[in-house]
Amino acid sequence: MSTILAIESSCDEMSVAILRNEKELLANVVASQIDIHKQYGGVVPEIASRKHVECVSAVLREALRQANITPQDIDAIAVTKGPGLVGSLHVGMQEAKTLALALNVPLIGVHHIAGHIYANNLENTIHYPALALVVSGGHTELVYMRDEFQFEVIGTTFDDAIGEAYDKVGRVLHLPYPGGPVLDKMAHEGEVTYDLPRPLDDGSYNFSFSGLKSAVINLKHNADQRHEEIRGNDLAASFQEVAMDTISSKAIKAARDLGVKEIIVAGGVSANKGLREKMANSEIPAIFPPMKYCTDNAAMIAAAGSVMYRHKMFSSLDISVKPDFDL
Ligand code: KG4
Ligand code: ZN
């Protein structure tokens, strides 16, 4: 039995969730700052951390109200330790330490990506061995999981993360931030008519998206110089086709090579419809988190934190955030 309160504040969302017995989500409050950062075309770290300081208490109070529990019902405090923006992480960490100290319960420092992966354990149950395909704004990784909470990174990106490539292409096409969801929608209204380069398949499980991203940027630049119009929806469809075909075929090949039971898709880009369609063709079942848990939220940190609680993977109250750290 466990009741875990979790805080996620690694980027521009401040979120508090309360999860009972690993599956029963009592609250998941997310305060997004996207409308503020949109004006700047990306997240401004200094603004993000200041806004977190302003809203953390209200988000916490609302989560406790929704869950209808008292602080004494809480068995542990889970918090994102990293990776992420240092100032943003500090706000959640400080709040978590204060709560753990005041309630005299363990603190659990959670890796943000472990959270994204365990978002799949909220409404489903992960079967091991599994392969996690992590696709977010900061990560593109293939992670072999022999068993619960065992992570072995077998492939990563040499340059841009896939979400980052989407957002950079979005910016060049003057789309609102973040470009990922907008391009996904446009792709479904367009056709694959632009011939874009496929990343070279070197037989490894690693990825590279800078060539594809640059090809789209150059295409737009050349069209602008010639005063020609770009067919935006077709360009989005062509970009999505190459990006998602590369990702899904590598993931399916790795899953086959490793003989896993499931492919667990995780991270903000797991919301992508093109990726969901491609992975539906996999002979090894591919599990996606429900849409509401794809992008950053504290329910996923509570899901990972609950498993860590069962394994007594507690942190000292002296820990600091780790803006850059491996799974
Ligand atoms: O996991 P997340 O919320 O934050 C990080 O940990 O990075 O992921 C955010 C990323 C952004 O780059 C956003 O553009 C991308 O996920 N994203 C998408 C879609 N929804 C969100 N990319 C492609 N298609 C989508 N539907
Ligand atoms: Zn994330």
Mean pLDDT, 10 residues at a time, the chain of 327 residues: 96 95 97 84 87 94 96 97 96 98 98 97 97 96 97 96 96 94 98 94 92 96 94 98 97 97 97 97 95 95 98 96 86
CA distance 228 to 226: 5
- Residue ranges lining ligand 1, Cβ < 6 Å: 11, 136-138, 163, 166-167, 178-181, 184, 267-269, 271-272, 295-296
pLDDT of residue 101: 97
What pLDDT is attached to residue 43?
Answer: 84
Give the model's pLDDT for residue 5. Answer: 98
Distance 99 CA to ligand 1 centre (A): 30
Please give the number of the atom of ligand 1 that sits closest to the Cα of 271: 26
**What's the CA-to-centroid distance between 194 and ligand 2, angstroms?**
30
Mutational pocket test of ligand 1: of 8, 141, 269, 279, the residue with most ligand atoms within 8 Å of the beta carbon: 269
306 in Cβ contact with 17 (< 8 Å): no
Give residue for tokens 């067919």: 231
Instruction: Look at ligand 1, atom 16, and give the residue with the nearest C-alpha.
Output: 268
Q: Looking at ligand 1, which atom is closest to the CA of residue 178?
A: 14
The preferred substitution site among 140, 162, 166 for testing ligand 1, maximizing ligand atoms within 8 Å of CB, is 166
Cβ atoms of residues 83 and 138 within 8 Å = yes
Consult the annotation and say whether 296 binds a ligand.
yes
Torsions phi, psi for 164 (to 5 deg): -65, -45
Say whether 232 counts as a known binding-site residue: no
Which pLDDT value is given to residue 251? 97
Model ipTM value: 0.98
Nearest-atom index, ligand 1, CA of 272: 26
Instruction: Give the containing element (helix H, strand E) for 88.
Output: helix 86-103
Q: Cα of 119 to ligand 1 centre, how many Å?
A: 15
167 marked ligand binding residue: yes
Question: Which domains, ranges and CATH numbers included, belong to the chain?
Answer: 3-118+294-310 (3.30.420.40), 126-289 (3.30.420.40)
**Per residue in 269-284, is it b (16+ CB within 10 Å) or e — as a string?**
bbbbebbbebbeebeb
- Closest residue by Cα to atom 22, ligand 1, is 180
Q: What is the pLDDT of residue 200?
A: 82
Alpha-carbon distance values, 90 to 18, 74, 319 (Å)? 20, 22, 11
Q: Is 138 annotated as a binding residue?
A: yes
